[in-house]
Homo-oligomer: A and B are copies of this chain.
Amino acid sequence: MVQKISYKTKQKEELLSYLETIPGVHFTAADISDHFRAQGKSIGITTIYRQLDRLVEEGQVSKYYIDESSSACFEYIDPENNCHHPHCYHCKCERCGKLIHLDCHEMEGLLQHISKEHRFLIDPMRTVFYGLCADCQKGDIHTESNP
């Protein structure tokens, strides 16, 4: 496994600079493309995919497949204030589409139970809980993102 030499390019730097301003926020490749187009400094979608792939490999970005028949979802992991400590999980509201960060210490006990009793080692960073967020539970009002 030979590590390739990596060049420092303008696109790479601008992408990382931007990502550093949105730790913990989830986004798609298209979101990034839109952001830079709006700024007048457009980056090719191919480059965005390639850079994100690299960052995922390096562990600086997480990749999720959350939305149905939709695009992959990425998230920058702040190395300073790392949200991805052992008790940070993701919840996705099936009604309004919100993605919520869940900080729950009780989960660890369950993960251990499942590991010991069921022999399955859960990867919290990849697992997403689907359900209803607090807002959407209230009165079961229809709060679809597209009205």
A contact set with B: CB distance below 8 Å? 63, 65-66, 68-69, 72, 91, 93-94, 100, 102, 104, 106-107, 109-110, 113-114, 117-123, 126-134, 137
Contact = CB atoms under 8 A, between A and B. Distances in A.
A130 B120 CA distance: 9
| Interface of A: prevailing SS | mixed
A130 B129 CA distance: 11
A120 B129 contact: yes
The 9 closest A-B pairs by CB, nearest first: A119-B134, A126-B130, A122-B131, A121-B132, A123-B131, A121-B131, A91-B120, A110-B110, A127-B130
A21 B121 CA distance: 30
B137 A132 contact: no
A91 B123 CA distance: 10
